[in-house]
Every structure is written in C-alpha cells, then in structure tokens.
C-alpha cells in the first residue's frame, strides 16, 4: 500500500488521542458516576454526527506532547435533533483538563467561529483551572489565552449571537466557571461544583478548609447565586435538559425560534381555568397551574426555578411557537419580588430579546419586597435596571393582569406606558398603588378607627381597583374572559409578530451581562 508508513503513524497517533488519559483514569471517572469526555459528546449529540477539530493538538511544553492528547480539550461540531451545534468537552483524564495555551486557543477559536457562523455553542465542563507550570513566569502569564493583543478579551467576553450553554459535570474551577458566567443556560449536575478557585488552592493560599459542595455545589448556585439555571440528577438528565432548552431557541439571532406541532390536549382545560384561582383575594395558589393550563401541553420549561422564587421565568410554547413567560408566584412571599427575583427577570428578558422570543407577563403581585435588607441590596437601582432592560426590548410583549398588580411592580411587569403590545386584565384583577388594607392603615395612621368604617374603606378601595376603571379610560386594551386567555395570546402574538421585520428583533440587550 502506498504511504504505508505514514498511515501507520497516523493510526498510532489517532489511537493515542482516543485513549485520552488511559483506561485507568477513565475507570476512575466511571467509579464517580461520570462519563469520559468522548462518552459525553456521544451521549449529547445525534449518533455519528461528531466532526472533531484539533484532534492532534497537544501541549507546547517540550516533553509533554505524548502526555497531553488533544491537550485535554475535545472540540468540534455535531448535531442535536438534526441541528448543528459546536461542542467543547473538558477531558479530566488528561491533567485534570487544566487550561493551557493550546487548549485555550482551541476553545477560543471554536467559540468565535460558532458565533460567527450562527451555531449554538455547548461547553461540557469538568476541569481544574489553569495548568502549572505552563502559565508561570512573565512569558507564561502573558501568552495564556491565545497570545495576541486581543485574543483574551475575545475568549472572555461575549455579545449574544448564537446560544451558549455550559454543563457543570464535575469539579469546575477556573475556565469552566468563566464559561458558565458567559452562557445563556447553565446546567449543574448534583455532586459537581464550580468556583473561581478550588478548595485545595483556598486551603494553601487562605488557610480556608472547605468542601467542594460548600464552596460551589448545586445548592449554592441554584438557590443562592443564581448562576445555575437548572439542576440535573445525573449526566444523562443534564444532556436532556440541554436538548430541551435549545429546542425553544433559534440557532442564531437572525432566525425565529422553531415552531412545533401542537400536542394533543393543549388548552383542553381552559374552560375550568377559574377553578385554579381562589375566590378569596388573600389566598395563595401556584401560578404554574394556570400557566400549564394556558400553554401547550407539557411545554413549560422553567429557568432558575430555585432562585428568586416569588417570580417564575420560563420558556414555553403556545400554538407550537416559543414564548418567554414572566409570572408572579403568589405561592412564595405572596408574589412580592425581591432583588434576586429582579436579577432573574432581567437575565431572562435579555435571553428572550436576544433570540426573538416574544414575552408574556402574568401579574399577581403586591409589589416589590422592600425594607432594610432590600435597600442594602440596592433594590431601587435594581428596579431601575429592570425598567431599563424592559425599555430596550424589541420583541412583542403581552401582559395579563390575573389578580393583584400594585405599585411600581405594575409597570415592571410591563404595565401601561411600557410599550406593551397588548395589556389586558381578567375581571378578577386589582390595580392600585398599594394593597387596600395597607392603604387603609396609612389613611387612619395611629388613630383609633371604627373597625366597620375601616373595613368599608378597604371594600371601596377594592372596588375602585377593578380593571374596568383603567379599561374605561383606555389605559389597558381590554378586560377578557379568563377562559379565552389562550386564544387571546395566540391572536395577539400573530398581530404583534411584525411582518416588516419577519419577527426578528433589534437585539438591544445582546451585550447585557449574562450574569448579574
């Protein structure tokens, strides 16, 4: 055979790359309940679609060529549900997937090329940070991240052009954490951790003794920091969540989201929707039951469900088309939005505006959560950041007042004056500056008041909060029968779709930070 020697060298080098860090280290991954990097790629992508780039890359440190197959980062392209994606997978079996000059170039080139070509980017994280001694010394430090005068800013910054997803699959310190903070969607698997530096470094540098879980486990990032958008039970569940998330989004910002067949049974419970709303105005309920009734069957996909729980942010479909939902959650703090909830909504508004996803708001809130702690968390600045983001949105906005909508929260939920395409209310709605009970206490102050007189004032204020006053002055577009909400939203979105632009927004929020 011609070139037999050359082909023999090729096959030998290919086998070395496919062995990654060796059988023993792969077994150690399996013993921890984790897949190897190549197994992860195979399980995430459609079968036989992976197109690898940088296969024979290795460390540029002399003597490390054979010890760094693919230089610990496996990169390339494949398909999910027939749609092209880019994938970078950390190979923990090779020097704990630490980042080096060559590995950094591979990841940076892939990220930049995917954005340029309109291909969603998926980062599968499990890595131990920067590689030493590669980056030590002045030359090592200054050359890390590509080596040119603008390469590092390209790797470590992002304007949303195509979706970016990060999976936290093991111990993730340094680069995987940075990538997570640039991503539109982050899934963290239980038992994994992410942070700037790991426990070993903290113990040596700061004498802090802390576990991976305490430092950056799933509870920390799903409930406290909000840096994890969803939590997965295991890696297969993680890959399923990634596939679900991408199904709601276009491949890039010059497309509209894909439209799916409407599942059988969608909207079948609309006639009974009022049974889900308590008649007593002070009773709580789970807003998700109402949303699930209105949206296509089983299409509600929550983002950050464990963070800022007094407001729901979710992707969903109605009549097969993607929508973004912002809904107050009376089941938690009566739907009063705190500063975490505000940050959560702003992040979601940026996502939807960047990828041409119309927004639907559902009001039931007594207002923002205020007080000493809220002020120290800069609630006023955050409310204005929220309003600033809302003002730059160019996708359609539909707003529905289900029950309470009081104070500044009315406007932040896309109320009147907020360029909302269609603002409507159910007959059950209450609209006012504050809750009538609070207003009555303000009116009477510390004076002794006749309880009957006070109750009469509250009743009159509740009646005055009826949506028909605002509808009569044409401050809202309509008061609708709750049972017709699904049909109303569908028709309103068709009208607001903008035939001139073809449903493509201006993406004014594309450069807003992906994390707060």
Report DSSP letters for 259-303, one per residue.
--PPPTTTTTTGGGGGGGS-SSTT----HHHHHHHHSSTT--EES
The C-alpha atoms of residue 227 and residue 180 are separated, in whole angstroms, by 8
Backbone angles phi, psi at 2, to 5 degrees: -60, 145
CB 102 within 8 A of CB 58: yes
Cis amide linkage into residue 133, ω under 30° from 0: yes
**Number of continuous H segments (helices) and E segments (strands) in the chain:** 20, 16
Tens-of-pLDDT digits for all 516 residues of the chain?
Answer: 889 999 999 999 999 999 999 999 999 999 999 999 999 999 999 999 999 999 999 999 999 999 999 999 999 999 999 999 999 999 999 999 998 999 989 999 999 999 999 999 999 999 988 888 888 888 888 888 777 888 888 888 999 999 999 999 999 998 999 999 999 999 999 999 999 977 776 656 677 778 889 889 999 999 999 999 999 999 999 999 999 999 999 999 999 999 999 999 999 999 999 999 999 988 999 999 999 999 999 999 999 999 999 999 999 999 999 999 999 999 999 999 999 999 999 999 999 999 999 999 999 999 998 889 999 999 999 999 999 999 999 999 999 999 999 999 999 999 999 999 999 999 999 999 877 666 656 566 655 667 777 677 777 767 788 999 999 999 999 999 999 999 999 999 999 987 788 899 999 999 999 988
* Nearest Cα to Cα of residue 394 among 347, 424, 343, 349: 349
Name the one residue in this structure whose structure tokens are 């038992």.
191
* Nearest Cα to Cα of residue 246 among 169, 163, 347: 163
User: Given this model, what pLDDT does residue 129 score?
Assistant: 83
The C-alpha atoms of residue 112 and residue 132 are separated, in whole angstroms, by 26
Name the one residue in this structure whose structure tokens are 């929707």.
273
The DSSP code sequence of 160-205 is -SS-EEEEEEEEEESHHHHHHHH-SEEEEETT-EEESS-HHHHHHH
The C-alpha atoms of residue 46 and residue 38 are separated, in whole angstroms, by 13
User: Given this model, what pLDDT does residue 439 score?
Assistant: 60
The C-alpha atoms of residue 141 and residue 150 are separated, in whole angstroms, by 15
Collapsed DSSP state (helix, strand, coil) of residue 359: strand
Domains identified in the chain and CATH numbers: 4-247 (3.90.226.10), 270-429+466-496 (3.90.226.10), 435-465 (no CATH)
Helix, strand, coil percentages in the chain from 3-state DSSP, rounded to 5: 40, 20, 40
At how many degrees (to 10) do helices 485-496 and 287-294 cross?
Answer: 70
Structural element, H or E, at residue 380: helix 379-392
User: Given this model, what pLDDT does residue 139 score?
Assistant: 86
* Nearest Cα to Cα of residue 249 among 360, 123, 160, 162: 162
Q: Structure pTM?
A: 0.93
User: Given this model, what pLDDT does residue 447 score?
Assistant: 58
Structure tokens at 478: 């309509």
- Tell me the CB-side half-sphere exposure of residue 57, using CA atoms within 13 A: 20
């Amino acid at each position: 055979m011609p070139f037999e020697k050359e082909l023999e060298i090729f096959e030998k080098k290919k086998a070395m790359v496919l062995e990654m860090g060796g059988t023993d280290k792969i077994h150690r991954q399996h013993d921890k309940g984790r897949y190897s990097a190549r197994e992860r790629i195979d399980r995430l992508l459609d079968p036989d679609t992976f197109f690898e780039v940088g296969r024979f890359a290795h460390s540029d440190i002399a003597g490390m060529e054979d010890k760094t197959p693919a230089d610990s980062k496996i990169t390339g392209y494949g398909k999910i549900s027939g749609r092209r994606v880019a994938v970078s997978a950390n190979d923990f079996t090779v020097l704990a997937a630490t980042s080096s000059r060559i590995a950094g170039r591979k990841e940076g080139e892939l990220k930049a090329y995917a954005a340029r070509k309109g291909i969603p980017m998926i980062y599968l994280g499990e890595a131990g940070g920067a590689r030493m001694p590669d980056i030590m010394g002045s030359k090592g430090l200054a050359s890390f991240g590509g080596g040119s005068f603008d390469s590092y800013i390209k790797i470590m910054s992002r304007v949303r052009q195509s979706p970016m997803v990060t999976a936290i699959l093991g111990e993730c310190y340094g680069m995987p954490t940075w990538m997570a903070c640039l991503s539109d969607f982050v899934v963290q698997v239980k038992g994994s951790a992410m942070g700037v530096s790991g426990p070993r470094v903290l113990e040596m540098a700061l004498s802090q003794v802390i576990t991976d879980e305490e430092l950056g486990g799933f509870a920390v990032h799903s409930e406290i920091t909000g840096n994890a958008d969803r939590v997965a039970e295991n890696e297969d569940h993680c890959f399923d969540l990634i596939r679900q998330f991408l199904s709601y989004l276009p491949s890039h910002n010059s497309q509209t989201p894909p439209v799916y067949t409407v599942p059988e049974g969608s909207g079948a419970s609309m006639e009974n929707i009022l049974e889900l709303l308590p008649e007593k105005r002070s009773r709580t309920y789970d807003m998700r039951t109402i949303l699930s009734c209105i949206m296509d069957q089983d299409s509600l996909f929550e983002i950050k469900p464990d963070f800022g729980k007094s407001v729901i942010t979710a992707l969903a479909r109605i009549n097969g088309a993607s929508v973004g939902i912002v809904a107050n959650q009376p089941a938690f703090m009566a739907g009063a939005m705190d500063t975490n909830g505000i940050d959560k909504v702003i992040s979601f508004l940026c996502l939807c505006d960047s990828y041409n996803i119309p927004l639907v708001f559902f009001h039931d809130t007594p207002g923002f959560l205020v007080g000493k702690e809220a002020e120290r968390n800069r609630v006023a600045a955050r409310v204005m950041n929220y309003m600033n983001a809302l003002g730059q949105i160019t996708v359609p906005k539909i707003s529905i007042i289900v029950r309470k909508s009081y104070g500044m929260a009315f406007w932040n939920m896309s109320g009147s004056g907020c360029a909302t395409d269609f603002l409507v209310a159910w007959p059950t709605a209450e609209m006012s500056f504050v809750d009538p009970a609070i207003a009555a206490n303000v009116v009477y102050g510390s004076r002794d008041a006749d309880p009957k007189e006070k109750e009469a004032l509250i009743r009159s204020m509740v009646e005055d909060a009826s949506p028909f006053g605002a509808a009569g002055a044409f401050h809202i577009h309509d008061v609708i029968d709750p049972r017709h909400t699904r049909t109303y939203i569908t028709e309103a979105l068709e009208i607001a779709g903008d035939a001139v632009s073809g449903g493509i927004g201006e993406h004014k929020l594309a450069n807003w930070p992906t994390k707060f």
